[in-house]
Homo-oligomer: A and B are copies of this chain.
Amino acid sequence: MTHAPTQRMRTEARQGRGIPEATVARLPVYLRALTASSDRGVSVASSQDLATAAGVNSAKLRKDLSYLGSYGTRGVGYDVEYLRYQISRELGLTQDWAVVIVGIGNLGQALANYAGFSTRGFRIMALLDADPAREGERFGGHEIRRMTDLEDIVGAHGVSIGVITTPAAAAQGVADRLVAAGVTSILNFAPAVISVAPGIDVRKVDLSIELQILAYHEQRKGPATAGVTSPPGVESA
């Protein structure tokens, strides 16, 4: 910018609020490492221990945790239970979140059955499917309800998170209805870009995109067998 204000803003809210996005994405991984340690009876763990379990380096883990506060003890490490609680709280997992899953194909069923949701405070309030003939089928203790009930369910249970596992063609319409009904976060598994109003969060998981990224790297490995030195970006985690 030519007339750059340079007044970069005072960066006042450094510590307390405003964790970098990349850090937020790793906190659940640390949480899992902590839970595993806890289950093994470990009560204190160093940044090195946790970093190994989480598949990152220890400097990154310490920097990440420093955004939450100073929860470690120099010369000792981190108290597993205490840190676990702090991360849970920061992620908002100390409260329950009401969820609906729309589109009950194989993937929707897999999610409905997945125990990892309920143990982290995600409560599936309903499964919804466009096929009225499937009303009443049960998966993972949840019942399929008809699409016309969507607005009632979202309203009645204060559903804030919607999971879309429909075919691509239906995704945008479902997203629109979810948002209109009050949902403010969407996890989209349909292979389609959906657009939403500002303030609504959308995360996308695309199975075929992940494979395509692997194919790119795979392609570059093969012919490079006679590779000079070790190639630069090897890992990926």
Contacts and interface: CB of A to CB of B under 8 A. Distances in A.
Interface in A141-167: 160-161, 163
Interface string A200-224: 1111111111111111111111000
Interface residues of A, number: 89
A237 interface: yes
B25 A209 contact: yes
A95 B215 CA distance: 10
A110 B114 CA distance: 14
A229 to B, nearest CB: 6
Given A54-B193, A114-B207, A213-B203, A236 B198 contact: yes
B195 A214 contact: no
Contact of A198 (B1, B219, B235): B235
Contacts of A33: 193
Contact of A18 (B161, B233, B237): B233
A132 interface: no
Contacts of A67: none
B207 A205 contact: yes
A173 interface: no
Contacts of A117: 208, 211
Contacts of A130: none
B211 A24 contact: no
Nearest to A105: B110
